[in-house]
Amino acid sequence: MSTLSLKDLNKIPVRLASGHRLCAGCAEAIIARQILMGTEKDVVVTCSTGCFEVSTTIFPYTSWKVPYVHTAFGNGAATCAGVESAYESLKRQGKIDKDIRFVNFAGDGATYDIGLQALSGAMERGHKMLFVCLNNEAYMNTGIQRSSATGMGASTTTSWAGSVSYGKKEYAKDMTKIIAMHDVPYVAQAAPHAWRDMITKSQKAFECNGPSFINALSPCPRGWRFPSEKAMEISKLAVETCVWPLYEVENGTEYHLSPESQSIADGKVEKKPVTEWFAAQGRYKHLMNERWEPVVEKIQSELDDRWNYLLKLCQL
């Protein structure tokens, strides 16, 4: 599949307008615009309840310039699948001849936790739709509560760090591999600083002729506690520390590292220690205390194991 040039990308209409109410420095609108630049065709958007929904569609205002459906926390994938099914039925009946693409945006809470059943079902049934997780690693919309996407050691309002606790006790769920195990045509992990990679993955996802999933890291200045102008630096740091490797999976079995992560695997770029990731964010600052050094070592070991396993899957 050919990649659209910058000139071509500039011709794609803006589907998400400015004037939304997302926090300063939030990456979600950036990610959504990159995703929506992945197709020149008409798009229908569904959106699970969360930061992105409440910030772009507070009644009576909307930032959306395409057909849009707000869904509950748990049924985003089911709603998008239903709209796609109605479209396919209308095409068979000869009542519509447009070539339309379908995408659901959801936070990690509506992907990893509350919406997992609907997501798994939509992937298994084979609906021609893209599901995008705007992964800010917690329930940010309702008060920065931990989710199963939250990293071990992170301090949230329901996994707070203190005199006897180092924060969240569990490792983050590997949702990207869970969806890849559904053997769907296309699955990818992406990050907003790598915009060309994000758009290319979106193009593949929209045109794979089946269900697809993109897990997009979405740095959150408020919940992660970093300066709002640092979102892209934090995004890049996640890749450099292998906290968030960039890769794609085709048909459930063909794993490929994306260029930025491939450079780390090839030794062209240094793999940074997880302590640099922790030092850049307030939610992890307590881990820099020497009393939690064993916890940091445990987290680094787990990250190394996951990275090495990913390299094996990529046959590297």
**What are the residue ranges spanned by the domains of the chain?**
6-313
Average pLDDT in the chain = 96
Per-residue pLDDT of the chain (316 residues; tens, 9 = 90+): 456 667 777 788 899 998 899 999 999 999 999 999 999 999 999 999 999 999 999 889 999 999 999 999 999 999 999 999 999 999 999 999 999 999 999 999 999 999 999 999 999 999 999 999 999 999 999 999 999 999 999 999 999 999 999 999 999 999 999 999 999 999 999 999 999 999 999 999 999 999 999 999 999 999 999 999 999 999 999 999 999 999 999 999 999 999 999 999 999 999 999 999 999 999 999 999 999 999 999 999 999 999 999 999 999 9
Dihedral (CA of 256, 259, 262, 264) sign:
negative
Of how many residues is the chain composed?
316
Distance, in Å, from the CA atom of 98 to the CA atom of 87, rounded to the nearest integer, reads 9
Rounded Cα distance between 288 and 273, Å, is 13
User: Would you state the pLDDT for residue 3?
Assistant: 63
Can you name the CATH fold of 6-313? Rossmann fold (3.40.50)
Nearest to 38 by CA among 279, 222, 149, 201: 201
